[in-house]
Structure 1
């Protein structure tokens, strides 16, 4: 076999591996968006690697919850909210509260994501075409309308496999961009190890950032949507091992990619005493340290994070409603098209008014925390119902993990309330 044939074979294997990724790709799309990237950049530049332990715990619990929700769907054949409504006392009320809470958080996040993504494209254009300066509002608004228009057109294609392939592309670009940036700018190994020891920054915004971290990494939307995506993939009870592997890989990738973003911000900016409050502040602070190429690469990764999140954020409200109504998602229905169209218009609020989306992003991540305890308690009750689990028992380790996740979410919810009271 000649050299070019070998290289072609290796490329084919890599491509097959990437395209073979399962519903976990949606977990990464939901979890790592510009909200997550914003939180990681602000935390890394302000507190160094001090909050790495929060990220690690959140990803660990996320892996357990993805696995548990996926397993329940494959064994029982039911989706999450449909099962809450059908089997739990007060289940209908719990399901409605979850739908309202998650949709509110995700649509707020969507405004910020679109605003930041449009701003990033404009900033990238400014790097190479400085004559565009002075046309920021018009340029950003035009870019935002173009992005959301393309995303809506892609949604109307309405096939699970198509959504999955689009997300695979965005997530792959995002992951590679951030990891390559990490090799150019990185923190000291000692700081990374110290970041694994639990501590909360004793300065303004520290508690808020902890809650935002959990809200963005332990995203309730990720777990609730998993049963529908597992079913959309065509998996059945024979795919239990595959589902477990998919959940573990997704949780690990979320930790690696998010940690890389925090590490780049920490390595480049923390020791210079230049905390970042906006993703776009990176333009002025990262370029002297890493150069125009690294800056473009990091922006490209952040843009891919935004684009990979717009898709799932547009999908979330119709997914939750379909789950509640029947447990089946019909992407060709009038309900799906109308709700996603309203979400697209809602997303344009920040670009139309020229508002700064950063604070909205971090606040929306904090609000996401408050739905988490209900989401964890619901699945804990379902997977321990022997009739629903058809002879499959939930292991002691998974139960301990779910109970620990529940207490963690309650603690962080309390911290989030305290942080919001202090903020306002």
Structure 2
């Protein structure tokens, strides 16, 4: 009797830790979606662990930016875009540019996410029902419509804590699936160490992947929405320490989970000279090693990653507009319902035209890079504005981190422009 009670209380403790996770869970939901899963798998399969350094820097700077945006929100009680509009000379133009850029990137991403998730569900069904093979397009489209309708209805229930709980479930399932997959295949330890040395693979598509990597890991949406989610959690200036820990934990987890996905792809595909170009290629990563079970575990992880991103992607445009207007997100307003409905319609475009979701996904991640310098510049100007921050002074360490992030984002944006010109 005693043993089962201790087991139960231990389980309860773990569940409490996971559910006690703050706004950082949204950061993970935004960041590790099908976009980053796709980028990590394609990178692992093509370049082994060579891009681990890009992932490391992206996560390091993400932590700094989440911390800076969160602190700004707690100290001033304002949200980011509203603050830009109010306090910066060209703040209004900057804020509008950011809204348009991020919405474009995230809605594009939504098409890819819905496409990949629907394809995954189709593949799982096709493994079990042979008759579906002739109806791939129809099944994928019907699945996509069903998934997006369910999510839209869930959005109308709209409460922060409700979204947070759903995200926690998906993110946990995703992490566990990929950790399980890692037991089946591992990259060589020396390759992991080599991957931390900066270099851009000099092959077609190398630059594009580096840009997609940063676009998906240093996601502007993650930082901008931070003050809103910190507010949604009910945190105040008394929670500065908690906010700091939450930012660090989120950054470490993003690095850890993304690195595992890359390692699984490197271990399963790179050494065999296989590449990923279609959704099913992703699952074939593991089949030789672990059979059908691996395919199911892996698909489950990728599906959880996709579903955990649909919420944040649907929420982003109304979030940013509410942030710009007043800093309050009203999930029951007419504006919220209309904007999220348009986002749902956009999401179905990819599956409706039968586009290759993997290409859409990587392209949309590259577009995310271009707004990044503006998002970083805005926060640098505002956290160093004495009138805004009052008695609170931003430390030299954080400033060095922010300027380094700005330099990094400019280099990657340039790299992204070169990649796109080569692509088109």
Q: Distance in 2 between matches of 1:189 and 1:284?
A: 23
Q: Distance in 1 between matches of 2:320 and 2:250?
A: 21
- Given the alignment of the two structures, is residue 89 of structure 1 paired with residue 89 of structure 2, yes or no? yes
Give the paired residue count. Answer: 424
- 1:133 counterpart SS class: helix
What pairs up with 1:221-370 in 2 under 5 angstroms?
Answer: 221-370=221-370
Q: Distance in 1 between matches of 2:160 and 2:217?
A: 23
Q: Distance in 2 between matches of 1:284 and 1:166?
A: 28
Q: Distance in 2 between matches of 1:279 and 1:14?
A: 33
Q: Could you tell me how far 1:285 is from its partner in structure 2?
A: 4.5
Cα displacement string for residues 334-386 of structure 1 (whole angstroms, at most 9, x for unaligned residues): 00000001101110111112221111111110010000001001001111112
1:186 aligns with 186
| TM-score normalised by length of structure 2 | 0.99
**Equivalent pair of 1:102/1:220 in contact (CA under 8 Å):** yes
**Equivalent pair of 2:31/2:216 in contact (CA under 8 Å):** yes
Q: Could you tell me how far 1:286 is from its partner in structure 2?
A: 2.7
- 1:275 counterpart SS class: coil
- Given the alignment of the two structures, is residue 29 of structure 1 paired with residue 37 of structure 2, yes or no? no
**Equivalent pair of 2:45/2:276 in contact (CA under 8 Å):** yes
Q: Could you tell me how far 1:130 is from its partner in structure 2?
A: 2.5
Q: Could you tell me how far 1:21 is from its partner in structure 2?
A: 0.6
- Given the alignment of the two structures, is residue 153 of structure 1 paired with residue 159 of structure 2, yes or no? no
**Equivalent pair of 2:283/2:298 in contact (CA under 8 Å):** no
2:117 aligns with 117
Q: Distance in 2 between matches of 1:147 and 1:97?
A: 31
Q: Distance in 2 between matches of 1:285 and 1:20?
A: 34
1:206 aligns with 206
Q: Could you tell me how far 1:27 is from its partner in structure 2?
A: 0.5
- 2:164 counterpart SS class: helix
What pairs up with 1:42-57 in 2 under 5 angstroms?
Answer: 42-57=42-57
1:390 aligns with 390
Q: Distance in 1 between matches of 2:81 and 2:284?
A: 46
**Equivalent pair of 1:42/1:278 in contact (CA under 8 Å):** no
Cα displacement string for residues 102-147 of structure 1 (whole angstroms, at most 9, x for unaligned residues): 0000000000100100000110112222232111111111111111
1:66 aligns with 66
Q: Distance in 2 between matches of 1:421 and 1:383?
A: 35
**Equivalent pair of 1:45/1:266 in contact (CA under 8 Å):** yes
- 2:386 counterpart SS class: coil
**Equivalent pair of 2:184/2:289 in contact (CA under 8 Å):** no
Q: Distance in 2 between matches of 1:294 and 1:352?
A: 29
Q: Distance in 1 between matches of 2:16 and 2:346?
A: 37
Q: Could you tell me how far 1:283 is from its partner in structure 2?
A: 3.6
Q: Could you tell me how far 1:97 is from its partner in structure 2?
A: 0.3
Q: Distance in 2 between matches of 1:390 and 1:20?
A: 31
Cα displacement string for residues 182-203 of structure 1 (whole angstroms, at most 9, x for unaligned residues): 1111101000000001111111
User: Structure 2, unaligned stretches of length 5 or more?
Assistant: none
**Equivalent pair of 2:211/2:413 in contact (CA under 8 Å):** yes
- Given the alignment of the two structures, is residue 177 of structure 1 paired with residue 185 of structure 2, yes or no? no
**Equivalent pair of 1:27/1:222 in contact (CA under 8 Å):** yes
Runs of 4+ in 1 over 4 A off after TM superposition: none
